[in-house]
Structure 1
């Protein structure tokens, strides 16, 4: 029987580290992690993003991570912790799982950007 999205999310959750919205600002402020927004550019324009976060569209992530890809982004090859986030945490959990399989140290922001904003953390406009 094929896996559904709930199966994929459960598998990812069991394999990755999640960062709670309450703990995320300390990682962010200390510079201990690179926050990576994987949402669609329209979402960033409409809702803003975490200040200082990098943008890596979900559809390009594997290509940007792989050093053999013509689309590789050197900042994704740094020896850093990458905290992926999307709107609710679903896409970022799947992205973190893939990125981890590709050799990155990574985590997913629990509840995504929605939880970040709900916790009252700062939001920057895409610029």
Structure 2
């Protein structure tokens, strides 16, 4: 018998987008390198190697996000305790909407996500940094 889901991914993304801040690409491009702004790339490392990333972005894979945000977790990362504004992004803005909503629900503020993801960023001519696989 096929799975009967209660909510589609699209419904979840739409709900998240109603509750979070979305930054238009043109505005986000102006934030690169600014003090107090941290871009969080939640894509898989293989995506970074193929597509590059926003200069200075920190890669936090979606699977570790909650553990790295929570200061009580043994996996907590200090950069989430800086008080910076965090701008989450992914390839097309679905994963980042869900990640931003999760981070906000956990109490991380201020948080936002990039409208259209890295795809929209590249179309708008935003700077992209090459990422090499770690050996």
TM-score bin, normalised by smaller chain: over 0.9
Query: Any residues of structure 2 matched to 1:42-61 within 5 Å, and which?
Result: 42-61=46-65
Structure 2 segments unaligned to the other structure (5+ residues): none
- Matched ranges for 1:1-127 at <5 A: 2-104=6-108, 105-127=110-132
Tell me the distance in 2 between the aligned counterparts of 1:8 and 1:78: 29
Distance 2:74 2:54 in 1: 28
Unaligned runs of 5+ in 1: none
**Please, what is the CA RMSD of the aligned residues?**
1.2
Q: CA–CA distance in 2 between the matches of 1:55 and 1:15?
A: 23
Normalising by structure 2, what TM-score?
0.90
Aligned residues: 127
Task: Return the index of the structure with the highest Cα Rg.
Answer: 2
Moved over 6 A (4+): none
TM-score normalised per structure 1: 0.95
